[in-house]
Structure 1
Amino acid sequence: MITEKAPGKLYIAGEYAVVENGNPAILVALDQFVTCQLTAAQHQTGRIISRQYQDIELSWRRQGDQLVVDQRDNPFSYIIQAIEVTEAYTRSCGRQLKMFDLTIDSDLDSDNGRKYGLGSSAAVTVAIVKALCRFYQLTVTNEKLFKLAAIAHFTVQKNGSLGDVAASVYGGWIAYHSFDRQWLAEQQQAVDLTTLINLPWPDLEVEPLPTPKQLRLLIGWTGKPASTSLLVDKISLFKAVHQQEYRQFLTDSQQCVTRMINGFRTKRLDLIQQQIRVNRQLLARLGQLSGVSIETPLLQKLCTIAEQAGGAAKTSGAGGGDCGIALIDNRQDVKQLQKRWQAARIQPLALHVFFDQDSKED
């Protein structure tokens, strides 16, 4: 049996702007995982079981080298794409395809199945690609692992930045510059997969970030799941009508995140916190201009409580629900802050930064 896992993630800064080519964001990988177990199968039908989908079992078979499932019973879009992309790469490396059973488990949702917004679709994609690469004895760098998982994820969801995939691959704190997804879509039609994986992707940058030793990340969950795709689509409509205001938002966000990246490089918590507050203001203005509820009343309460305790706080990701974050000096009284969150019906999440000690350097 092969077991691989991939961590969930949270956005720290740069949300919305990162969907535009070359724009930076900061993300962090967390110690909650999607775990994938893969076992060789001797029979003619493979099985995929995922607790993300209430233990639904999906059977699959091969028709030549193609993986065939009944689409009418298939809620497993990211899983299937991860298998298909990785096996296409496997064939290009001269390996013969085999049958297998796949079991997937996830820590990234609450006990009652509600999503925390930790990037479960990206994590499951990365975990499957990692497991299949081991199964077929393919050695891949972090960069190739990212590209394979990004292609699979992009095929299902067209409007994301793929920063969540990068966080699941690299672990820790990262600065991520989004690549040109239109270029990717065009190249998928023009070149074979091996060539595409080996090409430099325009604007793509992933930089692991050092962190100040006194930095503490606190995460609060509002209990309300949010649809990132839907919120990004709404901002896209605003972009089309108010191009000048949107371009100004992009410029301001890029400057803010670049300063924050420098704060990490120089391990200056004060500079990081200052830019967290700037980023919150930029997102608040974007929400006001677009009519999109990025910072909900409960997320606003989360931020107010954290700021009063000496932290710098903002929404994480697309907002509209899910999680808020606070970056605080670990010498502060964080327990009192968390008690106040709980009193406001905000659930502190017992999550920590995950650093992948086994990841392969590029």
Structure 2
Amino acid sequence: MNPKHCLQSSQTQTIKIPGKLYIAGEYAVLAPKQAAILIAVDQYLELTIRQRTKKGWLIENHQGGYAPLCLETDDSHLRVAEDYSLEEDQLDQWRYVIEAAKVTHTFLQESNFNSRNFHLHIRSQLLSDSGKKYGLGSSGAVTVGTIQAILNFHKIKLSAERLYRLAVISQLRLGASGSFGDIAANAFGGWTYYMAPDRKLLKEMITNAPSITALLKQEWPDLTIENLAVSKDLQVLIGWTQHTASTDNLVKQLKDQISAQPQAFQAFIDQAPAVVRQLKDGLINNQADLIQQAISNYRNLLLVLGKAYDLSIETAALNQLIEIGNQHGYASKSSGAGGGDCGIALGYDINTKESILKQWKVQGIVPLNLQVAPQSSSERIE
């Protein structure tokens, strides 16, 4: 059974949305026509939805600090129910879920489906036992999960790409400026080769489109999402530094400096595409030397970028993680924005795997017992 699309009964339905990690392409993918490679991992956001007899869409997030959210229809729009009024900071916590629910509600109306009342529970495995983020993503997963859970409840099943598109529309309405690579990994599962749509044109399309349904059917310039067939012999080791990092802060810091000093970033994105293509070729052709070279080259590009803009991409803990992996012949680098969170090590020699994990532990790096999550089912009904 596909763990990402697990229906239990007509009354209660549960889905699991995988977390994500960048393998290569981070930072570059923020620029037009730049690609990245990501994996979905089998650490999940779990959403359970069931029929509700009372009016409204009641949503509970069982992560600490969330007050219950209830949305009701008001003149064809969703609003927070009066009995569940929330403070501004509480509404901000719920912003991804609220916007995802609004987009889904509009799509239901356009599809001539009558909205049904439900109770949605959200539970996350994307955090440590102490509540710290691993860096496996959360905003993308909760956006994708909210949309898919509500559509499943109304017996509408969409392809992974249309689910991705609805989630991107939702986040763009909130003013998000990322690449949405996390959303692609959340929706597609497995190994994903990704190039973001032209965000400037897409924003114009959203402004001018007569409906969400029309947006789903239009061509999105530059958008490329491919699932890669990667051998299961390739070991993907993931180490957590126990230090959380803010992707938004690092990306903002970079963007603020690029406007004044664009040369270093231009040099970075001039070189990044060839490295990502090299990694793609190595992965699909099972060529360890290409994978090793590409990962090493992309790590070096990130180091140069970090030095140019004074970004703490590769911290001391990540450096230790990488050096240990490299010493054992595993291609190693930071994952995502860096500054903490996770690093990765890729290799085929199963005999050295335990030695890497053991040495990571000695250095205070926590090995995460994660696997690449399965691809989304291709059997979903449009």
TM tier, smaller: over 0.9
Q: Is the 8 A contact 1:4 1:128 kept in 2?
A: no
Distance 2:240 2:256 in 1: 28
Q: Unaligned 5+ residue runs, structure 2?
A: 1-11
Establish whether residue 223 from structure 1 lines up as the match of residue 260 from structure 2: no
Which residue number corresponds to residue 3 of structure 2? none
1:167 aligns with 2:165: no
Distance 1:244 1:360 in 2: 46
2:58 counterpart letter in structure 1: R
Counterpart in 1 of 2:39? 28
Picking from 152, 161, 184, the partner of 2:170 is 152
1:66 aligned onto 2:77? yes
| Aligned residue in 2 for 1:46 | 57
Q: Determine the C-alpha separation between the residues in 1 that align with 2:116 and 2:232.
A: 47
Say whether residues 1:135 and 2:146 are aligned partners: no
- Which residue identity lines up with residue 187 of structure 1 in the other structure? M
| Percent identity of paired positions between Structure 1 and Structure 2 | 38
Supply the distance in 2 between the matched residues of 1:257 and 1:350 (Cα, whole angstroms): 26
Does structure 1 residue 333 correspond to structure 2 residue 344?
Answer: no
SS of 1:150's partner is: helix
Residue 200 of structure 1: which of 195, 213, 219 is its match? 219
The offset of 1:44, in angstroms, is 2.0
Q: 1:294 aligned to 313, 327, 340, which one?
A: 313
Q: Contact 1:85–1:152 (CA<8 Å) still a contact in 2?
A: yes
For residue 111 of structure 1, report the CA deviation from its aligned partner: 0.8
- In the alignment, the residues of structure 2 paired with residue 299 and residue 36 of structure 1 have an alpha-carbon distance, to the nearest angstrom, of 32
2 CA distance for matches of 1:227 and 1:157? 18
Aligned to 2:229: 210
User: How far is 1:359 from its partner?
Assistant: 4.2
Report the Cα distance in structure 2 between the residues aligned to 1:59 and 1:158, rounded to whole angstroms: 24
**Matches of 1:59 and 1:114, distance apart in 2:** 27
1:217 aligns to what SS in structure 2? strand
More deviation, 351-360/19-28: 351-360
Equivalent residue of 2:259, what SS? helix
Between Structure 1 and Structure 2, how many residues are aligned? 362
2:67 aligned with 1:56:
yes
- Cα drift, residue 358 of structure 1: 2.8
**Alignment partners' CA distance in 2, 1:71 and 1:152:** 21
Over 3 Å counting, the alpha-carbon distance change for 1:272 and 1:185 in structure 2 is same
Question: Quick one: which of 181, 184, 207 aligns to 2:199?
Answer: 181
1:65 shift after superposition: 2.2
Answer yes or no: is the 8 Å Cα contact 1:172–1:354 preserved in 2: yes
1:5 to 12, 16, 27: 16
Conservation of the 8 A alpha-carbon contact between 1:305 and 1:341: yes
**Correspondence list, 1:207-286, <5 A:** 207-286=226-305
Task: Give the letter for the 2:325 counterpart.
Answer: A
Q: Distance in 1 between matches of 2:350 and 2:35?
A: 30
Shift of residue 52 of structure 1? 2.7
Of residues 328-337 and 113-122 in structure 1, the stretch that sits farther from structure 2 once superposed is 328-337
| 1:66 positional shift | 1.7
Mapped to 2, the partners of 1:175 and 1:147 lie a distance apart of 16
Asked whether the equivalents of residues 172 and 353 of structure 1 are also in contact (C-alpha less than 8 Å), the reply is yes
Tell me by how many angstroms 1:154 deviates: 2.8
Taking a change above 3 Å as real, the CA distance of residues 216 and 157 of structure 1, as seen in their structure-2 partners, is: farther
Q: Secondary structure at the match of 1:47?
A: strand
Paired letter, 1:235 = L
The Cα RMSD (Å) is 1.6
Q: Which amino acid aligns with 1:174?
A: T
C-alpha displacement at 1:84, in angstroms? 0.9
Aligned counterpart, 2:127: 109
Tell me, yes or no, if the aligned pair for 2:292 and 2:331 is still in contact at 8 Å: yes
Letter in 2 for 1:226: A
Corresponding residue of 1:79: 97
Deviation at 1:287, TM superposition (A): 0.1
- Give a deviation string over 1:101-142, Cα, whole Å, max 9, x none: 110001100011110010111111111111111112223111
Which residue of 140, 156, 161 corresponds with 1:122? 140
Secondary structure of 2:351's match? coil
1:345 aligns to 2:364 (yes or no): yes
Shift, 1:57, TM fit:
1.7
Supply the AA of the counterpart residue of 2:229: P
Give CA deviations for 1:158-211 in whole Å, capped at 9, x if unaligned.
Answer: 221000000011110110011111222212211121111111111000111121
| Per-residue CA distance 1:231-279 (angstroms, 9 max, x = gap) | 0111112221222221110011111001111112222122112100000
Counterparts of 2:65 and 2:236 in 1: how far apart (Å)?
A: 31
Asked if the contact 2:160/2:376 (under 8 Å) is kept, the reply is no
- Rounded to whole Å, the distance in 2 between the matches of 1:316 and 1:351 is 14
Q: TM-score, normalised by structure 2?
A: 0.91
Code of the residue aligned with 2:364 in structure 1: it is: R
Report the 3-state secondary structure (helix = DSSP H, G, I; strand = E; otherwise coil) of the residue aligned with 1:333. Answer: helix
